[in-house]
Amino acid sequence: MPTDPYRDNLFQGAQPHKFEFAREMRRSSTDAEEKLWKFIRDRKLSAAKFRRQHAISFFVLDFYCHEVKLCVEVDGGIHKDSENRKYDEARTIALKELGITVVRFSNETVEKDITTVLDAINNHLIRLRYLLLQEKDLNSIT
C-alpha cells in the first residue's frame, strides 16, 4: 500500500483509537471550543484551515492548522490542577519536537474576550507563515 507523505505528516502515526477519541471529543465540545470554532472554521481566520479535535501522534489537539503546524488549545478549569499542568507541559514539549507550536487559552478568555484570542492566533499564523517562507527561500538557494 503506497504511503501519502501529506497524510503521514498530518497525523504523525496516530493510532485508530485516537481517531475514535477525537470523534467523541467533537461530539462533546465545550461552549468555549464551540465559540472559537465558529470563528476559525471554513478558513474564516486568515484563510487558514483548522481541524477540530485532530488526532496526531499520541494526542488529540483541540484545533490544528497543518499549514503552519499550529495547535490551539482551549483549557478548562481541570488544567489548573498541578498534575494536569505537568501533563500539559510534557505534551507541549512532545508536540514541539514534532515541529508544532502550541498556544493555549482558558475557556474564560475565549468566552469573554474572543477578539484578543483571534488576534493572538492570527499573529501566530502570520509569524509561522513568515518563517515558512524564509525556510523555503533558504532551501531554494542551496
Name the pTM for this structure.
0.84
**47-56, 60-69, 72-81, 116-125: range with lowest mean pLDDT:** 72-81
Average pLDDT, the chain: 87
How confident is the model at residue 45, as a pLDDT? 97
| Residue pLDDT, tens place only, 106-127 | 999 999 999 999 999 999 999 9
Residue 37 pLDDT greater than 90, yes or no? yes
Q: Give the CA-trace dihedral at 31, 21, 39, 43, to 10 degrees.
A: -170
Edge to edge, the sheet with strand 51-56 lists 51-56, 59-65, 70-75, 101-106
- Mean pLDDT, range 43-48, rounded to an integer: 97
Residue 36 contacts residue 72 (beta carbons within 8 Å): yes
**67-71, 85-89, 119-123: range with lowest mean pLDDT:** 85-89
